[in-house]
Amino acid sequence: MRILFFGSGDFALPTLRALLRSEHEIAAVVTQPPRRAGRGGNLRATPVERFARAQDLEVFPSQDVNAETTLAYLRYKQADVICVVEFGQFLRESVRAMTPHGAINLHGSVLPRLRGAAPVHWAILRGMNTTGVTTFSLVDTMDAGPVYRTATLEIGPEERAGELRGRLATLGAATMLETLDALAGGKIRPRPQDDTQATFAPRLKKSDGFLDFRLPAEHVLWKIRGTWPWPGARAVFGRAGVQALPVTIARARRAEGPARCKAGRLDEDLCVSTSNGRLEIVEIQPAGKRVLAWRDFVNGYRIRPGDVLHLPESEDT
């Protein structure tokens, strides 16, 4: 089939690579326009644009994919289907109707669970043991279109969102290719979702990473794993007479035995207590610094029993 590929973020790259290796033809790659990034504010193209240009693919950066200029370009390409992976713009019906097979999207959950912008993070934040990917037809309602294929995988007990995202991107590439192959052969029809089973995964805010050690240890671990690398599980080290130190906890694990002191306080083993159990911090990142092993942080910042990890007061903390 002749494909228009709509994608912007790195989650889309495994699918674009799979399509390049397939028998399908990529008519063009549509992506978000370059954005200013970094301290210098230089324009930076999307990961998809950079990869596509390196492969000599035709690239069309679009500020508004629904604009008439974009529609004219899409009509000219005469594609069979639109393949959408982490694109970042809403496709109206005028775009979706541009091809005989409409627009097929890859989503990082097993729909109808975890509809929304951050399904990978929320799968961990909600303590799920399994998740997956879905290919489905785009409609006007977010992530509610009929489903073509799903595939599942188990979430590792210490797996973080960034790591899970990579595995789902790879699984999604294979699932999208299977969908397109079956569609080309007339061997697949989408099935409607059960909207009564829908759950939602909204875009994360910085405050979604705020750590509250008054919660059970398991819930604190979900937040540490589910918010890495962004927004990160954030807390503030406090000690009388010492300036507060904002930190992001990158890795932690359950420590044996019950909590030995007040929630958020470090015990004699330098484990942090929660409302139910205690945690051993493995890696930590002081604000503006690189990630450190816990022992290096303890030695460098002279951490000692009795120090407290506070809940940040605001997103600017």
Give yes or no: residues 182 and 216 share one domain. Answer: no
User: Is 45 contained in some domain?
Assistant: yes
| Pair (187, 248) in one structural domain | no
Residues 172 and 77 in one domain: yes
Measured on CA atoms in the order 252, 254, 257, 262, is the torsion positive or negative?
positive
Q: Judge whether residue 317 has pLDDT over 60.
A: no
Quote the pLDDT of residue 36: 83
Q: Match 């007990």 to its residue by tokens.
A: 157
Q: Tell whether 222 and 120 lie within a shared domain.
A: no
CA atoms of 221 and 212, how far apart (whole Å): 11
- Establish if 149 belongs to a structural domain: yes
Domain membership of residue 249 (yes or no) is yes
- Half-sphere exposure at residue 241, Cβ-oriented, CA atoms within 13 angstroms: 0
The answer to whether 251 touches 185, Cβ cutoff 8 Å, is no
Check pLDDT > 80 for residue 41.
no
| Domain shared by 278 and 220, yes or no | yes
**Where residue 258 falls among pLDDT bands split at 50, 70, 90?**
very high
What does pLDDT average to over the chain?
A: 95
Is 315 inside any structural domain? Answer: no
If one counts the domains in the chain, the total is 2
**From residue 293, how far is each of 247, 285, 286, 296, 311 by CA, in Å?**
13, 9, 11, 5, 22
Tens digits of residue pLDDT in 117-140: 999 999 999 999 999 999 999 999
What does the radius of gyration of the chain's CA atoms come to, in whole angstroms? 23
In a shared domain, residues 173 and 219: no
* Same domain assignment for residues 71 and 217: no
pLDDT for 65: 97
- Note whether 112 and 223 are same-domain residues: no
**Is residue 240 over pLDDT 70?**
no
What residues have CB less than 8 Å from 15, skipping those under 6 apart? 5, 7, 83, 85, 106, 169, 172, 173, 176, 177
SS3 of residue 243 by DSSP: strand
Residue-number span of the structural domain to which 111 is assigned: 2-197
Calpha distance 120→305 (Å, rounded) = 35
Query: From CA 155, how far away is CA 127, in angstroms rounded?
Result: 10
pLDDT at 241 exceeding the cut of 70: no
Confidence of residue 31 (pLDDT cuts 50, 70, 90): very high
pLDDT band at 14 (very low <50, low <70, confident <90, very high): very high
Q: Residue 97 CB: number of other CB atoms within 10 A?
A: 12
Task: Choose one of 138, 163, 197: the last residue of a domain.
Answer: 197
CATH number for the domain harbouring residue 231 = 3.10.25.10
Only one residue has tokens 């693919």, namely 57
Nearest one of 54, 60, 46, 52 to 16, comparing CA atoms: 52
CA 59 – CA 49 distance, rounded (Å): 7
| DSSP H or E stretch at residue 75 | helix 68-77
Model-level pTM?
A: 0.94
**What per-residue confidence (pLDDT) applies to 243?**
80
% of the chain with per-residue pLDDT over 90: 93
Which of these three, 197, 223, 257, is where a domain ends? 197
Question: Which tokens in the block code for residue 279?
Answer: 């945690």
Residue showing tokens 């912008």: 117
Q: Which residue has the tokens 């979604």?
A: 208
Give 279's contacts (C-beta < 8 A, 6+ positions apart): 217, 220, 221, 252, 253, 254, 255, 271, 272
What's the pLDDT at 44? 93
**Residue-level pLDDT at 179:** 98
pLDDT over 70 percentage in the chain: 98
CB distance 46 to 16 below 8 Å? no
pLDDT at res. 202? 97
- pLDDT tens digit string along 63-91? 999 999 999 999 999 999 999 999 999 99
Q: Please state the rounded mean pLDDT for residues 213-234.
A: 97
Same domain membership, residue 287 and residue 240: yes
Look at residue 176 in the predicted model and tell me its pLDDT. Answer: 98
pLDDT at 239: 78
* 179 and 259 fall within a common domain: no
Q: Are residues 9 and 157 in the same domain?
A: yes
Report the pLDDT averaged over residues 184-197: 95
Residue ending a domain, choose from 161, 180, 197: 197
Q: Token pair of 308, please?
A: 């407290």
Q: Is residue 187 part of a domain?
A: yes
Select the more confidently predicted residue: 284 or 240.
284
CATH number for position 114: 3.40.50.170
Number of residues assigned to the chain: 317
